[in-house]
Amino acid sequence: PEETGETNNDCYEELRSLITNRGLKILHQNVNGLLSKMNAIRLLLDSQNKNIHIFGIIESKLDLSISDTEIRIDGYTCVRYDRKN
């Protein structure tokens, strides 16, 4: 894996702090085609005041033809595992 600015220990400490101090909030959605649902997803997250710490998506139908920029959500980091054709 590529090195990032944070070490795994930094990530674990941040996660531990969230759980201990504020509670960890996770939202998981089956979207069946992410691009067509991006506006609705952004509205949903905005309505929660970005209070969701982890937002997991399945059945996104993403592949290499769709860039991270197209699915960017302010305040969140995109981690992808695209389908293989």
pLDDT of 48: 86
- Using one digit for the tens of pLDDT, what is the confidence trace for 45-79? 989 887 888 899 988 888 888 899 999 998 888 88
Residue for token digits 């929660």?
48
Predicted TM-score (pTM) above 0.85: no
Instruction: Kindly tell me if the per-residue pLDDT of 3 is higher than 70.
Output: no
- Using one digit for the tens of pLDDT, what is the confidence trace for 4-54? 455 667 778 877 887 888 778 889 999 988 999 999 999 999 898 878 888
Q: Quick one: which of 44, 84, 47 has its CA closest to 64?
A: 84
